[in-house]
Amino acid sequence: MIIRMEDAAGSGAGQAVTFSLTDGDTVHVLHPEQIVAYRGPSSGRSDRLMNVKGIYRKKKWIRADIAGPSQFTAALPPGFNMHEIQLEGEQDMLYDFRHVFFYTKQVTMQTRILKIKNMLVTRDAIKMKFSGNGSIGILTQGPVCKVKLHPTEPLYVDAGSIIAYPEAAKLDLTVYGNHLASQHMNYHWKLTGDGYVLFQAGRQNQRLVNELNDEGIIKRFLREAIPFGGVFIK
């Protein structure tokens, strides 16, 4: 399977993603309404009702199963990009099912209930565990970074920027740095373990834009002077 991503013409026009499937390839598309062009036999696409047990009030979605040889193009809305995750061997990833665009037939899904502390920060009760040998396509806003975890040396990631992580990874909610630094940052996940973590870059862009546009010296002073001002004063 070959995936080609192109920015659509015009400012804020979104992104077009073209999939080229060979014989034996099968892709499960979870947002089939975004497919705008298809080339291949009519029998190459089969839509079905999909019921993911026990999540999101047991709502059903239409899933399009597209087999090769064929080619199709999907359109993504402005501000969204698609990032492909390759799984192999014992690798797995926990991710928000709603933002999965596709997965291949070799990938399996299982529901996972999050711990209470994770629910409070992520505002999600359930994530999907993806494992197997294949690909997942996830929808993101902004660039995506992939960093390998270490069993003992922690990686600190902004709590609102984390996208996906291995089920076996250890997560602790914390801040880091000296006293002043810890007062002027968002909460972070302290991660250790094996595998890779994906996080979204660009979440802090609006704050930097405001500062560069000189949002006001009093507001900026209060944000820097008050403990956790960066969290409460937006």
pLDDT range class, residue 54, cuts 50, 70, 90:
very low
Domain stops at, among 140, 161, 176 = 140
Claim to verify: residue 126 and residue 149 sit in the same structural domain: no
- pLDDT grade, residue 155 (50/70/90)? very high
Residues 169 and 158 in one domain: yes
The pLDDT of residue 62:
82
Res 10 pLDDT > 50: no
Domain count within the chain: 2
Q: Is residue 210 part of a domain?
A: yes
Is 233 within the bounds of a domain? no
The verdict on 122 and 11 lying in the same domain is yes
* pLDDT value of residue 13: 61
Residue 77 scores a pLDDT above 80: yes
pLDDT at 65: 94
**pLDDT number for residue 57:** 46
> Is 218 part of any domain?
yes
Look at residue 231 and tell me if it is in a domain: no
Spell out a b/e string for 143-174, using b for 16 or more CB atoms within 10 Å of the CB, else e.
ebeeeebeeeebbebbbbbbbbbbeebebeee
Instruction: Average the pLDDT over each of 39-43, 145-149, 211-215 and give the range with the smallest value.
Output: 211-215
Residue 27 maps to a domain: yes
Res. 34: pLDDT tops 90: yes
Which tens digit of pLDDT belongs to each residue from 84-121? 888 888 888 888 777 889 999 889 888 887 777 666 65
Residues 124 and 62 in one domain: yes
Assess contact for 25 and 104: CB atoms under 8 A. yes
Let me know whether 100 and 26 are in one domain: yes
Residue 4 within a domain:
yes
User: Does residue 102 share a domain with residue 13?
Assistant: yes
Q: Among the three residues 140, 173, 190, which one is the final residue of a domain in this structure? A: 140
Q: Are residues 145 and 134 in the same domain?
A: no
pLDDT value, residue 59: 57
Across 156-168, average pLDDT:
87
Are the beta carbons of 144 and 196 closer than 8 angstroms? no
d(CA 157, CA 144): 13
Are residues 132 and 190 both part of a single domain?
Answer: no
From 113, 140, 167, the end of a domain falls on 140
Do residue 34 and residue 148 come from a single domain?
no
| Mean of pLDDT over the chain | 80
pLDDT of residue 21: 95
Residue 66 domain boundaries: 1-140
Same domain (yes/no): 38, 135: yes
